[in-house]
Amino acid sequence: MPAVAAATLFAAAVSCSSLSGHFAPSLEIEEARYPDAYTGPKSISAREALQAAVHSLERRGVRDVRLCHIHWIVAGVGAAIVHATGHWERDDVAFNAFAVAIYDGTEVQHGLIGGTEHLVMARGVDHSGVQTWYYNDRIFRYSGIAVDPVLELMFELVTPEELAQLPAKCGISAGGARRRDLH
């Protein structure tokens, strides 16, 4: 019963807040789609997934979050993958492109509550311009990822190229880069 209570509280919090200020002009909102024969738990809505992604980024300190893209995965684990831009500095790295995976709730019986964070990735550059990645509280230089096949698994849900191109596709929100140009 705690999973149902948590999902109810999350849904109530989502319904009280506005997302429209976070939408990029190109954002197309799509709902999760499951086969007609699927009879399991219902997925959260796209709005709930987008709100959870904004919350996930803002609680880390990401400013000026702009939602750019949402798509859903149903194999392995059911989740919404949300791409966003914003501004975040951590450990002398300026991050500007993000991917957040949010559980969709179809596997609540396994403890994966809809609207909760599965993972967060970010792409940025350090003070010397070196491409740098954030993945679930760890920071990697791209050269370190390229030589470690296990670390490359972090790109199963979003490619390095997708995140690198995201600010240009989506536009960095008002205010531009705070400390330096992000490329």
> pLDDT, tens digit, for every residue of 123-160?
999 999 988 999 888 888 877 666 666 666 677 878 88
Cβ proximity of 135 and 153 under 8 Å: no
Question: How far is it, in rounded angstroms, from Cα 133 to Cα 120?
Answer: 10
User: What band does 49 get if pLDDT is binned at 50, 70 and 90?
Assistant: very high
3-class DSSP assignment, residue 161: helix
Q: Give the residue, 113 or 12, on which the prediction is more confident.
A: 113
Question: How far is it, in rounded angstroms, from Cα 94 to Cα 16?
Answer: 31
Domain of residue 139, residue span: 2-16+40-170
135 is a domain residue? yes
29 is a domain residue? no
For the chain, the domain total comes to 1
Report the amino acid identity of residue 123: R
The angle formed by the CA atoms of residues 58, 47 and 54, to the nearest 5 degrees, is 5
Q: What is the pLDDT of residue 69?
A: 93
Question: How far is it, in rounded angstroms, from Cα 56 to Cα 33?
Answer: 23
Question: How far is it, in rounded angstroms, from Cα 134 to Cα 162?
Answer: 15
66 is a domain residue? yes
Q: Taking residues 3-21, what's their average pLDDT?
A: 48
CA-to-CA separations, 43 to 29, 77, 123, 125, 169, in angstroms, rounded:
15, 12, 28, 35, 28
Q: How many residues does the chain have?
A: 183
136 is a domain residue? yes
30 is a domain residue? no
Tell whether the model's pLDDT for residue 107 goes beyond 70: yes
100 is a domain residue? yes
90 is a domain residue? yes
Q: What is the pLDDT of residue 14?
A: 42
- The whole model's pTM is what? 0.80
Cβ proximity of 82 and 102 under 8 Å: yes
E strand or H helix at 142: helix 142-146
**Residue 114 has which token pair?**
């809809």
22 is a domain residue? no
Question: How far is it, in rounded angstroms, from Cα 13 to Cα 24?
Answer: 22
Question: How far is it, in rounded angstroms, from Cα 81 to Cα 93?
Answer: 23
